[in-house]
Amino acid sequence: MDLTRAAAEALDAADPLAAFRARFAGAGDDGLLYLDGNSLGRMPEETPAALARVVEEEWGRGLVRSWSSWIDAGTRVGDLLAEGVLGARPGEVLVGDSTTVDLYELLVAAADARPGRDVLVCCADDFPTDRYVVAGVAQARGMTVREVPADIDEGLDPAVLAAALDERVAVVVLSAVAYRSGALVDVGAVTRVARDAGALVLWDLSHAAGAVPVELAANGADLAVGCTYKYLNSGPGAPAFLYVRRELQDQLRQPIWGWFGQRDQFAMGPAYDPAPGIGRFALGTPPVLATVAVEVGARLVAEADVDRLAAKGRALGELVVALADAWLRPHGVALASPRDPARRGAHVTLAHPRAWQLTQALVDRGVVPDFRTPDRVRLGPAPLYTRFVDVWDAMACLREVLETGAHEGYPTERARVT
């Protein structure tokens, strides 16, 4: 690979997604080399106007009369995500609550659907929320948690997972893309193995949605959740989505009985009767303003096409890996993600004993990555708006910091915390 800056500029000139960069606030003029799109995506230029329209016209003038257009926002935007982002069918995706709440309600519903099974399986290196929710549900129900080990850099070994499955397992909770290393899991293969064991699989797509194809319908996925503020660029704390395979919907009864999940909600009846289909997984009044931002982000991703985004994401990641090998390895930096690009999502992680100090030194120089324990610098060049030259410049800055020892003057993470 040609590692010159001119080669990176040539890749940008040939990039079919290059025009999308101008549709994000600050992407062309804020001076940041923003490589943290896997934590919080940039704001689309269209989002303020979309929010203003709802605030000023629908709320400001329409008031309660606007509920006729708001009330189905969760399913309408869910269908947009289903078709344009997740490879699901209409009526299988709902937008509305946080990832944690969605994970909890689907996990309990799935466990109830497997009576007589008393084990929940999750990955020992998965995102904390996922492991905490699994542990909490297991404790409340008198179940056992079976944590499957995974390599912190290479991710989950499918054979190790398969060995953990038996007739006691009710639900398996896994991330499609590992939050720390970016390691990619084969959704279809894992779903088939779990189904052969009689278990349901609940996928966390938070680091996958909008970055890699997940093809939920084609892979026969049972259940999934995911956030929308990373590669879907819907803003901090934006509502999450949940997915339930159509054939499972009427078999599952979720544990939080809210009035929006009621069959005839405006009858205000005395007893809860769950609505048919995906609507039964709704809870309370939807977050209308936040869902507008989800819609803007989802439309951009659908327009760009997830396959094209994944291809560019792999290419950006390959440039990170090649530059790290050539420039950073002599300074003690090691790749902490799968080397094969087909086994990675859209972010790449590097390991260094002073990762926290390196991260802070980069931020002070206008490069924004993020830090993950124990000693990882995570780089998330979001393909919708990140250029190849941005990656080149960011890696050149990291090389300069290492060569000059500029990071040595920063306090350790422990000092920061205490």
Beta strands in 19-118 (DSSP E): 33-34, 93-95
**334-335 and 370-372 beta bridge pairing:** unpaired
278 vs 286: CA distance, rounded Å: 14
225: its two tokens? 């959740």
Q: Is 204 a catalytic residue?
A: yes
Q: Which of 79, 102, 204, 222 is the catalytic position?
A: 204
Compute CA 145 distance to the chain's CA centroid, rounded to the nearest angstrom: 24
Q: Which of 20, 104, 179, 229 is the catalytic position?
A: 229
Q: Which residue has the tokens 């809860």?
A: 272
324 vs 173: CA distance, rounded Å: 33
The answer to whether 148 and 172 have CB atoms below 8 angstroms apart is no
Contacts by 247-250, CB closer than 8 A, 24 or more apart:
248/113, 248/200, 248/222, 248/223, 249/92, 249/276, 249/277, 249/278, 249/280, 250/276, 250/277, 250/280
Q: Which of 76, 114, 127, 314 is the catalytic position?
A: 127
Q: Is 230 a catalytic residue?
A: yes
Q: Which of 42, 230, 312, 372 is the catalytic position?
A: 230
Identify the helix (H) or strand (E) that includes residue 122.
strand 119-123
> CA quadruple 88, 91, 96, 100: dihedral positive or negative?
negative
Q: Is 378 a catalytic residue?
A: yes
Q: Is 229 a catalytic residue?
A: yes
- Dihedral Cα 157, 163, 165, 168, nearest 10 deg: -150
Q: Which of 245, 344, 378, 399 is the catalytic position?
A: 378
Q: Is 166 a catalytic residue?
A: no
The answer to whether 82 and 63 have CB atoms below 8 angstroms apart is no
- Alpha carbon distances (Å) from 38 to 174, 191, 252, 382: 18, 25, 32, 7
Say whether the peptide bond before residue 128 is cis (omega within 30 degrees of 0).
Answer: no
Catalytic residue list: 127, 204, 229-230, 378
